């Protein structure tokens, strides 16, 4: 029978393994493993093969190794500060968003336990419960409307039994166990991301490239507006400054006969004779004046015959024939 390695030797082996991971991988995910079983952890390890390596262990040893490694790489102090509670570290050099998806997608259903804070909302849908009518008082104590159908208790309306973040009570556990409902799904949760010496919340991974581009240009617009307002020239304000300067020069040219240049010529030509400019360039001169409209009375027939109904004076030559909204 081969004896296990001494405790000190196991600690040294663990230290060597962690130091190797810290040197080989520049990125890591800090995950919480509350309510995660050993079988589920093994399934996650299998899913991460070839993409990442998951490490669990005593926090004191991990912090000690990281403290020593931080003497050569000070950025590891940021990662060391997040090692507390039930945590696991997933080291990877692949795309962290993909690795996180693999980690959080492995979830197992679990029954509610007293004193646990609900990770999600818990709803009970209406329908038959399979319980005998003798347990109606139990539902009444929880303010759940029920009825008796074919000798069985049936819930009438959907019930929001537990809200996310609320503490699970013994009554909740008793009801869910009677209904054989496992309301919660537990798995590893990624809390922080360590990437090339930077530490940030895991929610940052949800930001897409399109969102980053939109936020960048929104910032550029604000900076450009501010610089234009205070008269501080930058690369983003140069086009606007040139356009503003050109407008000012054109305004001076059209109001003075002494100033003239090529780009102001069309504006001067238009202001001198708008009709001639429109005719030359094939542009519309706009709607005709009301005084030039043809007289309706002269265009109307002399008299209406019996076969042809007389039009009212308010009719606009059939423009609204069939009604304003297309009705007969």
Give the integer Cα–Cα distance in Å for 44 and 41: 5
> Residue 325 pLDDT > 70, yes or no?
no
Render pLDDT for 292-322 as a digit per residue (tens, 0 to 9).
444 444 444 444 444 444 444 444 444 334 4
What are the residue boundaries of the structural domains of the chain, listed by start?
7-107+187-206, 122-182, 210-281
At 99, the pLDDT band (50, 70, 90 cuts) reads very high
Distance of CA 176 to the CA centre of its chain: 33
Kindly give, in sequence order, each residue whose CB lies less than 8 Å from that of residue 137, ignoring residues fewer than 6 positions away.
Answer: none
Instruction: For domain 7-107+187-206, give the fold.
Output: Alpha-Beta Plaits (3.30.70)
CA atoms in the 13 A half-sphere facing the CB of 321:
4
Q: Which residue has the higher pLDDT, 321 or 47?
A: 47
Say if residues 112 and 173 touch (Cβ distance below 8 Å). yes
Instruction: For domain 122-182, give the fold.
Output: Molybdopterin biosynthesis moea protein, domain 2 (3.90.105)
Render pLDDT for 155-191 as a digit per residue (tens, 0 to 9).
888 888 888 888 888 888 888 888 888 888 888 889 9
Kindly give, in sequence order, each residue whose CB lies less than 8 Å from that of residue 202, ignoring residues fewer than 6 positions away.
Answer: 29, 100, 190, 191, 192, 193
Query: Lowest-confidence range among 123-127, 193-197, 297-301?
Result: 297-301
pTM, whole model, 2 decimals?
Answer: 0.57
> Residue 68 pLDDT > 60, yes or no?
yes
């Amino acid at each position: 029978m081969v004896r296990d390695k001494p405790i000190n030797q196991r600690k040294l082996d663990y230290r060597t393994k962690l130091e190797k991971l810290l040197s080989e991988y520049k990125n890591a995910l800090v995950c919480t493993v509350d309510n995660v079983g050993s079988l589920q952890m093994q399934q996650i390890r299998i899913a991460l093969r070839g993409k990442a390596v998951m490490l669990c262990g005593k926090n004191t040893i991990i912090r000690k190794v990281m403290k020593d490694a931080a003497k050569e790489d000070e950025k590891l102090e940021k990662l060391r500060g997040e090692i507390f509670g039930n945590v696991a570290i997933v080291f990877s050099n692949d795309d962290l968003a993909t690795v996180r998806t693999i980690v959080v997608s492995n979830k197992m259903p679990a029954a509610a336990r007293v004193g646990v804070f609900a990770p999600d909302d818990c709803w009970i849908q209406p329908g038959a419960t399979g319980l005998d009518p003798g347990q109606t008082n139990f539902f009444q104590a929880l303010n759940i409307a029920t009825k008796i159908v074919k000798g069985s208790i049936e819930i009438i309306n959907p019930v929001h039994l537990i809200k996310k973040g609320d503490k699970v009570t013994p009554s909740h556990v008793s009801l869910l166990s009677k209904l054989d409902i496992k309301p919660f799904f537990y798995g590893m949760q990624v809390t922080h991301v360590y990437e090339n010496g930077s530490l940030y919340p895991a929610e940052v991974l949800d930001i897409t490239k399109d969102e980053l581009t939109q936020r960048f240009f929104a910032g550029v617009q604000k900076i450009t507006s501010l610089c234009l307002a205070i008269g501080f020239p930058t690369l983003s304000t140069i086009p606007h400054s040139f356009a503003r300067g050109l407008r000012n020069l054109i305004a001076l040219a059209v109001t003075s006969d002494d100033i003239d240049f090529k780009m102001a010529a069309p504006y001067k030509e238009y202001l001198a004779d708008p009709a001639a400019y429109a005719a030359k360039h094939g542009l519309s001169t706009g709607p005709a004046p009301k005084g030039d409209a043809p007289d309706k009375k002269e265009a109307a027939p002399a008299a209406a015959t019996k076969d042809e109904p007389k039009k009212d004076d308010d009719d606009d030559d059939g423009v609204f024939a069939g009604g304003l909204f297309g009705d007969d």
